[in-house]
Amino acid sequence: MRFKRLFTPGPTQVRPEILKELATPQIHHRSPEFSELYAAIQPKLQQVLYTRNPVLLFTSSSTGAMEAGVTNLVARRCLNLVNGAFSHRWHEITKGNGIPCDEFAIPWDKAIKPSMVDEQLATGKYDAVTLVFNETSTGTMNPLEAIAEVVRQHRDVFLLVDAVSGMAGAKIDTDAWGIDYVLAGVQKAFALPPGLAVAAVSERALERAKTVPPRSYYFNLPDMYKFHQKNQTPATPAIPHLFALNAQLTDMLAEGMDKRFERHATMAGIVQAWAKKHFDIYPEEGYWSQTLTCVKNTQSIDASAMVKTLASGYNARIENGYGDLKGKTFRIAHMGDLQVDEIQGLLRALDDILGF
Amino acid sequence: MRFKRLFTPGPTQVRPEILKELATPQIHHRSPEFSELYAAIQPKLQQVLYTRNPVLLFTSSSTGAMEAGVTNLVARRCLNLVNGAFSHRWHEITKGNGIPCDEFAIPWDKAIKPSMVDEQLATGKYDAVTLVFNETSTGTMNPLEAIAEVVRQHRDVFLLVDAVSGMAGAKIDTDAWGIDYVLAGVQKAFALPPGLAVAAVSERALERAKTVPPRSYYFNLPDMYKFHQKNQTPATPAIPHLFALNAQLTDMLAEGMDKRFERHATMAGIVQAWAKKHFDIYPEEGYWSQTLTCVKNTQSIDASAMVKTLASGYNARIENGYGDLKGKTFRIAHMGDLQVDEIQGLLRALDDILGF
């Protein structure tokens, strides 16, 4: 099999030197060498997330960390802000766990605005609100900073953020913005393979979690925090991923987070210009994602055929639209360790395929 | 850091050529190449588990797959058979999820006997029973075949088996014994790194799961089975582990499962003889585990010091007793890809340290 270079919005391309880290010999999860590894990761994760909060490690996909958020942190009623497939999933998770909640849904090509959140929270019904920062299904980047500012004005409302395809690709100033829970899977802008999720949890969130009747044994934040304080995890974690995460965090901080975010913005600008020239961009202007572009297929090209030709002829993968948006959109990721020239090369390949 | 060879009851030692498989370039989880990988793994897993049932893949530790079992498969009331830390954990999980259940607890140095199970099930209160096949905390191997025979006589009762440190190290004839749910983490006798669990689920279990109100979104068996039929997983799985699992299953089947089990039995016999000569064995005779031996510290040696000296002086790790058994017992694993000569070498090292 010839491996394809991944321009997909997760899993993303992983550098060979990071892949090799996965192959580090195994260590025991209750040994001093494990705690050293855990302790080495923690301050680096905190730097990347701009937080002094503990960053817990989940051996699960991001969906697991989403479930952990609502099952541990909603004491009264949760507001699920929905403008895409993954924010809808968070509502399904909340509802499916029997947690009182309401969905506030807007069209998928629109961003959630701070005023909408303010209006909903003003009802006084909620003590938690979920938001997807960067909707992988639509390429919409919701205005997190401004929304967080609104949520802060409702003192007892906790802000839970799915930053799956945003974290490490766009700045999230966790503590300054007062985010209580922000999660991501490492197979997106962290440019690691899937199998691990991370979440920064605020002190008051950890306090509330102690008072919420636990709905899961595996996704139990107070338990995870108890082990965290010993530089351990309650259950045996995905140790290969921890080796790779440790190395990748070092490289990310060596690049510099500001530079990393700039590189993402530059790549985003290039793809957006290409998309505007030949097609359109799915979400409303002003809210285009910095890590992936969802192209609106205004020319009615055969998106499936294009994806296949790119894979077979150029050994590269982009992704068709998500769910109902299949064919109507397609998605190009510009995140992780991808470089500007790789993005330019990809667009040339698409030009060739589409005859532009 | 000098890496220690692992004689711990999980994580276990992983061969270098299997570690390298983890470093395979990433593929996309919704691509044909992923489905090919998934489809290649499935029949091999079925052979190792002696089953025609689907074997589902969990991106979680075994604890997650334990939670999935009780949250999806108990319609009425669950009996948790407890004779060690992990069977007690399963009761905690069941109770913690608000599932009606009772704990049937016996001393940790005793095995669960079929007659005990029969007596409990005869009450007619239960439609599911959980059993830990091989208690990693005590080195007890419960008589699974005989217990399964008893459970089969209670037609509507499902048998859920945690085979975490037993599967692939001792024969589990899943279909012949009528086991409805049998799970394991791959970091034990599969000799892979942690981060993935597997579970074979019977047809009638999948049917019942559809009728049980879901308690978790992430651990949802009907949803996992739906994606399984497309050779996919609902959420992005731990892809590095799937590459390694695929290669390791090929090697296991090339060795031959009977030969593999024999090798485990041979290593167990050697360690048991050593333990009886110098100490004693913690569980009652007749139920000693084939994959790990829990040595009863009848000589009151300093077990912590021995573990440390072995690590620093011989670059090898065994494990102290679990929880309250720390110091009173210590544990030597003889599972996975460990060979007879490695076990003999380890015991010589312990002889040197202990002055035998």
β-strands A197-201, A181-185 pairing: antiparallel
Same fold, A5-11+256-354 and A17-254: no
Contact (CB, 8 A) for A118 and A150: yes
Taking CB atoms and an 8 Å limit, are A239 and B194 in contact across chains?
A: yes
Tens-place pLDDT, residues B173-214 = 999 999 999 999 999 999 999 999 999 999 999 999 999 998
Tokens of A67: 């479930």
Closest CA to A224 of A55, A3, A34, A10: A55
Closest CA to A93 of A60, A63, A137, A135: A63
Which chain B residues have a beta carbon less than 8 Å from that of A191? none
C-alpha distances in Å from residue A223, one per residue of A17, A79, A217, B174, B306: 34, 25, 9, 33, 30
Closest-CA residue of B relative to A191 is B26
Taking CB atoms and an 8 Å limit, are A60 and B63 in contact across chains?
A: no
ipTM: 0.97
Closest-CA residue of B relative to A164 is B236
Taking CB atoms and an 8 Å limit, are A12 and B20 in contact across chains?
A: no
pLDDT band at A68 (very low <50, low <70, confident <90, very high): very high
pLDDT band at A225 (very low <50, low <70, confident <90, very high): very high
Helix axes A203-211, A221-228, angle to 10 degrees: 130
Q: What is the CA radius of gyration of chain B?
A: 20
pTM for the whole structure: 0.98
Alpha carbon distance A151, A159 (integer Å): 7
pLDDT in tens, chain B (356 residues): 689 999 999 999 999 999 999 999 999 999 999 999 999 999 999 999 999 999 999 999 999 999 999 999 999 999 999 999 999 999 999 999 999 999 999 999 999 999 999 999 999 999 999 999 999 999 999 999 999 999 999 999 999 999 999 999 999 999 999 999 999 999 999 999 999 999 999 999 999 999 999 889 999 999 999 999 999 999 999 999 999 999 999 999 999 999 999 999 999 999 999 999 999 999 999 999 999 999 999 999 999 999 999 999 999 999 999 999 999 999 999 999 999 999 999 999 999 999 99
β-strands B319-320, B181-185 pairing: unpaired
Closest-CA residue of A relative to B15 is A25
Mean pLDDT across A210-230: 96
pLDDT, residue A214, reads 83
Alpha carbon distance B78, A60 (integer Å): 26
Tokens of B277: 């000569």
Question: Which sequence spans correspond to the domains of chain B?
Answer: 5-11+257-354, 17-254
Taking CB atoms and an 8 Å limit, are B12 and A26 in contact across chains?
A: yes
Alpha carbon distance A227, A233 (integer Å): 5
Q: Thinking of the domain B17-254, which architecture would CATH place it in?
A: 3-Layer(aba) Sandwich (3.40)
Taking CB atoms and an 8 Å cut-off, how many pairs form between chains A and B? Answer: 198
Closest-CA residue of B relative to A18 is B23
Tokens of A282: 């799915």
Tens-place pLDDT, residues A32-67 = 999 999 999 999 999 999 999 999 999 999 999 999
pLDDT, residue B273, reads 98
Which chain A residues have a beta carbon less than 8 Å from that of B214? 96
Tens-place pLDDT, residues A229-269 = 999 999 999 999 999 999 999 999 999 999 999 999 999 99
Alpha carbon distance A28, B193 (integer Å): 10
Contact (CB, 8 A) for B150 and B116: no
Measure CB to CB from residue A61 to each of B30, B93, B235 and give the nearest one.
Answer: B235
Q: Across chain B, how many H-helices and E-strands are there?
A: 13, 15
Separation in Å, CA of B94 to nearest CA in chain A: 9
Tens-place pLDDT, residues A148-195 = 999 999 999 999 999 999 999 999 999 999 999 999 999 999 999 999
Tokens of A55: 């960053």
Alpha carbon distance A348, A259 (integer Å): 25
Question: Can you identify the CATH homologous superfamily of domain A5-11+256-354?
Answer: Aspartate Aminotransferase, domain 1 (3.90.1150.10)
Tens-place pLDDT, residues B33-64 = 999 999 999 999 999 999 999 999 999 999 99
- Top CATH class, B5-11+257-354: alpha beta
Alpha carbon distance B86, B131 (integer Å): 10
pLDDT, residue B255, reads 98
Closest CA to B34 of A314, A1, A245: A1
Tokens of A131: 């938001």
